[in-house]
Structure 1
Amino acid sequence: MHDRFALHYDPEAFNIAGQKLLGRQSAGVGLLRALAQEGTQGELGCFTADRRHADACLAALRDDGYAGELAWVASSRPQDLKRFGCLYHPGADIERLAWQRLRLDDRDYSLCGVVHSVANHEMMNTVTGLLTAPVRGWDAIVCTSRVVRDSMRLLLEQQAAYLRTRLGATRFELPQLPMIPLGVHCDELRFSDQERFDARARLGIGLDDVAVLSLGRLSVHAKSHPQQLFAALERAEKGGRRVHLVLCGWFAGEAIETAFHEAAAALCPSVNLIVLDGRDAQHKRDAWACADIFTSLADNLQETFGLTPLEAMAAGLPCVVSDWNGYRDTVRDGVDGYRIATVMPAPGAGQDLAQRYEDGVDSFEMYCGHASQAVALDGAGLAQAYGSLIRDPHLRRTMGDNARLRARQEFDWRAVLARYRTLFEELAERRRADPSLNPPLPQHAPDRLDPFRLFASYATRALGPSSLVELKPEASLALVRQYRELGINRFAAASMPTLEEFGVIFGAIGPRPMQVEELSDTLGPCDRPTLLRGLAWLCKMDLLRITER
């Protein structure tokens, strides 16, 4: 394997001190620890402008047991990277490093970045900028999941089409886009029976109770909307067992915290809510140790992989997750847990959301929040999955054991680091590659796409003109009004139908399943993108079902 490479060391990217939870910093720290624990595999370089940063990098490696040496490569002397063969950058923005390399022989070394999300404008600009940057086919940007690679490819195709039309460009060279997951340190997520007993005692969880854990950022905009989590746990058949929902994370502010508690009280009054500060190491360890089931219902555009399900699998917990983003690359449905089907509007229902973000009307957080309001899970399937695991301890153990084995074989940092080293060797062998790209003409600004087009592969299926919809028996405008006024939903009124328009929709849908296109024709001048988002929101509220032909 390739035994030399250099790290482009940015202290912020390899440090979780003061960070709120997870993210690319956790991935950077995990990589450093994996390198330290791997032992001496050759020469490791540290490419940075400040020698003190190289010293800090070495100190961090030493803290984790690294016994080798670290060579400082000053950023003013990129030519010294030739002996390392590859420079690893902890982000997707390798174009500035490619420009720096241009004054050298660009066959001297490869560049390898990693993309965690392409949802914000900065990252969209970074991706589309690759087409005009001097990157080569022996460079790479690692995609942590298939869906983020799909989004990157669409951005690249749209930008290439624009450049062909505007400038007559006919030749493009891109880096490789291999898929390598993030990793976890599996050995650190094993808990003894005594640790489990003590953690449950501290949190007031009985021996026969069932604890469902959700760990990560607690946000209605930027992680996962909690409505269907709360509602499904309430509806789940529990077989007489007492259920605790452990939320371990941090709130973005008091208003978000209040909204979560308000929604939990309204939607799952029979479930005991336990909130732990995920920034506290002991609280986080207690959360993992006490849990019987892990759940993460990501429905957000900026989520592309998700470390917490991997951590849960390493901890031996069955996972109930949304069939969304990289979760479908990690959790095997019916084996390690359950992946719950998702739906969102078909491409064409969100160009106005992209424009609001572009115009500064919405922040990035609100752009993600508006889009996520139109992403729904199969509520009945979610409740059934929770109920099956809550009632059956044998099923929990079987799925948990499957998950632990898969995490160790596929996602432990030792396995992930080996894949990186193999990639570096492959890049060295591709120094003469020259790929081309011939995309169709663009219809929109290539880096400001309708989010439901850009992220079309995230959902299980699309809600489009040919979809059949019908109201559930319990659906009513009173419930629509109640749910719209919940703090977790109120913010998105600008991107949803008005209450009056929801009334028209309710009046138009008959007693049989109705095709969305027919519904749209019935409603006349109703804005179709808003209608599609409204129908998806009704699904999210479990007031509408989508039926197959």
Structure 2
Amino acid sequence: MSWAMADRFALHFVPDGYAVDGPRLLGRQAAGAGLMRAIAEAADVQAIGCFAAGGAHAQECERMLRSHGCRAEVVHIAQGRPQDIAPFGTLYQPAPALDRLAWRRLGVGERSYSLCGVTHTTASHAVMTAIAGLLVAPLRSWDALVCTSRVVRDSVREVLERQADYLRARLGAQRFELPQLPLIPLGVHCRDFAPDEERRADVRRRLGIGADDVAFLFLGRLSFHAKAHPQQMFAALERAALAQTATGRRQVHLVLCGWFANEGIERAFREGAAALCPSVRLTVLDGRVPEQQRDAWAAADVFTALADNVQETFGLAPIEAMAAGLPCVVSDWNGYRDTVRDGVDGYRIPTLMPGAGAGLDLAQRYDDGVDSYDMYCGHTSQAVALDGALLEQAYARLIADANLRRELGANARLRAQREFDWGVVLARYRMLWSELDERRRADAVLAPPLPALVPDRLDPFALFATYPSMQITPLSLVELANDASLALVRQYRELALNRFTVASLPTLEEFGQIFGSIGSRPMQVDELLDALGPCDRPALLRGLAWLAKMDLLRIRAAGAENEESL
């Protein structure tokens, strides 16, 4: 084999990491498929190694590469022969778990090749355990775990630092060596999303969207507990739609394009939309069907995604929307903060959640098997709220101003082409892999860097502390909304969107005590907790955030009496 290092790639091929044609389409699979396609389309790639469990997987890897027009030589590498990876320089793993691959490499020499993984969700305990294991696995400075956003890198670092503390205390470990943690976003193939005016006219006619109507699009997995809770989106769209009645009302549409895990979740979405945004016309498309997904992009005027879930780390859909030339209204949460520029490509709506101390019991319930991973994410997300007033303002602005929609959409498309096209992102990967090659040749070997706290079972509100715009602290000020009432609390708790979360929130009686203690005046959180007496403090802190999520409570930072609140 005589290829130059820059002319070849090696992929650890696990079908689930790259397949996008199954019944459950996930973001990590779309990302894996996108990178594979970018590699296949790169004209200067001479050889691609496929490190796979068996011949069938290797053949599937080659089939997928060829389907994207790959002309490079495809080399099948058996998992029993990791030494055959060496000529390729770096093995790419479409997941963060590098430990077993590092142990496998140890038998053929640590400097034989580099390993490169990538973060997707870091919220599952299995992934946290894999990240914590990086400190004891034989990984070196010539390996890398790509972090797709700044906030996910913060979470990775939090686990690693807690694990290092534990190893230091338990074993007296003093020297630690980590893989590189470079920041490289996911990408999209921008040309796939180029606006098509002819298709737009046809799709809008078929969907009953008038020329002057405004269509908002949410595209992605339709899950209120494991993706994005839609209540504030529904409610803010309704308020924004009704607010512009006096200026010549346009029909507002909401297109949900994705897939529901089951009929119960679909019923919950439809029930929530009917109750919270009856003036908005709802259309549901199957996002697993390519034609319906293309219809959704063509029909839309505005993209909105209000992720409030710790399993999210980057979010492909917003950059797909940017590539489609759509202004984006997103939550100021996770990797959205690295993609959508507030006021330039759209609007990022501030978010809020409790600080550390409000969720260790949730991590323990998940660890004990009381809650599934989805329920862990769901209970956590119920304590994440957006600024409902600012969300309504953003929606109203974009409904009223077609020129603003065009301006922000044009900015978004240009940014997607310059920063997030897979051609640009792949170039960053190739530069990283060249740097790892150089480190592997030149770096001295430095050995790796222990506490009572379990490092990979952290309180989610500590682990994901940098996700929200602000946190609820003892000095935060809380004030009831004008229309707040226990009747509304009871009504919202009974919505299928929220019913599942009763176990992690205060009881109706405790909500009544909160209302009675706050009364008609703003008060500090620590003052409120003192007034409530002996109580389940974590549940009450989550309850305050949940009330804000329901737009029944306003919360602002201490000393910010005149500022916007959540």
What band does the TM-score fall into relative to the shorter chain?
over 0.9
The match for 2:49 among 38, 45, 54 is 45
1:283 is aligned to 2:280: no
Alpha-carbon RMSD across the aligned residues, in angstroms, is 1.4
Return the offset for 1:320. Answer: 0.2
1:52 Cα deviation from its structure 2 partner: 3.4
Corresponding position: 1:134 with 2:143? no
- Superposed CA deviations along residues 423-479 of structure 1, whole A, max 9, x for unmatched, are 0011112221556886xx645211111110011111111012111110111111111
Aligned residue for 2:7, secondary structure, equals: coil
Counterpart contact for 2:329–2:347, Cα < 8 Å = yes
Match of 1:159 in 2: 163
**Does 2:500 correspond to 1:500?**
no
| Counterpart position of 1:233 | 237
1:334 shift after superposition: 0.4
TM-score, normalised to structure 2's length?
0.94
Residues 439-454 of structure 1 mapped to structure 2, 5 A cutoff: 442=451, 444-454=453-463
| Matched-pair contact (CA < 8 Å) for 1:174–1:435 | no
Secondary structure, aligned partner of 2:216: strand
Distance in 1 (CA, whole Å) between partners of 2:446 and 2:145 is 15
Q: Deviations over 1:250-290 (max 9, x none)?
A: 11211111111111111111111111111122211111100
2:429 is aligned with 1:425: no
Change in 2 beyond 3 A, CA 1:446/1:377? same
CA distance in 1, matches of 2:448, 2:156: 13
Distance 1:124 1:478 in 2: 40
How do residues 183-222 of structure 1 correspond to structure 2 at under 5 angstroms? 183-222=187-226
Task: Specify which of 349, 362, 366 is matched with residue 357 of structure 1.
Answer: 366
2:412 corresponds, among 376, 381, 403, to 403
Superposition deviation, residue 510 in structure 1 = 3.4
- Within a 5 Å distance, the mapping from 1:436-475 to structure 2 comes to 442=451, 444-475=453-484
1:234-313 aligned within 5 A: 234-236=238-240, 237-238=243-244, 239=247, 240-313=249-322
**Structure 1: 4+ residue segments shifted above 4 A:** 433-438
Question: What is the deviation of 1:56?
Answer: 2.2
Tell me which moved more, 73-82 or 301-310.
Answer: 73-82
Question: What is the distance in 2 between the residues matched to 1:443 and 1:319?
Answer: 43
SS of residue in 1 equivalent to 2:511? helix
CA–CA separation in structure 2 for the residues paired with 1:442 and 1:334: 43
Provide the aligned length of Structure 1 versus Structure 2.
Answer: 547
Aligned twin of 1:381: 390
Please give the alpha-carbon distance, in whole angstroms, between the structure 1 residues aligned to 2:16 and 2:367.
Answer: 27
**5+ long unaligned stretches in structure 2:** 560-566
TM-score w.r.t. the length of structure 1 is: 0.97
Shift of 1:512: 2.4
Partner of 1:81: 85
How many Å separate the matches in 1 of 2:325 and 2:447? 44
Q: After superposition, give the CA deviation of every residue in 1:128-172 in whole Å (9 maximum; x if it has no partner).
A: 111111011110011111111111111111111111111111121
Shift of 1:193: 1.1
Structure 1 residues 108, 387: CA separation in 2 closer, same or farther (over 3 Å shift)?
Answer: same
Measured after TM superposition, the shift of residue 54 of structure 1 is 2.5
| Conserved 8 A contact 2:18-2:32 | yes
Amino acid at match of 1:260: F
Give the superposition deviation at 1:190.
1.2
Alpha-carbon distance between aligned partners in 2 of 1:437 and 1:539, rounded to the nearest angstrom: 44
SS of equivalent to 1:400: helix
Q: In structure 2, do the counterparts of structure 1 residues 266 and 433 end up closer, same or farther at CA, with 3 Å as the change threshold?
A: farther
Q: Provide the C-alpha distance between the structure 2 equivalents of 1:137 and 1:205, rounded to a whole number of angstroms.
A: 55
Identity among equivalent positions (%) equals 66
Contact 1:159 1:446 in 2 (8 A): yes
**For the residues of structure 1 that align with 2:391 and 2:444, how far apart are their CA atoms?**
46
Kindly provide the amino acid, as one letter, of the partner of residue 223 in structure 1.
K
Structure 1 counterpart of 2:525: 516
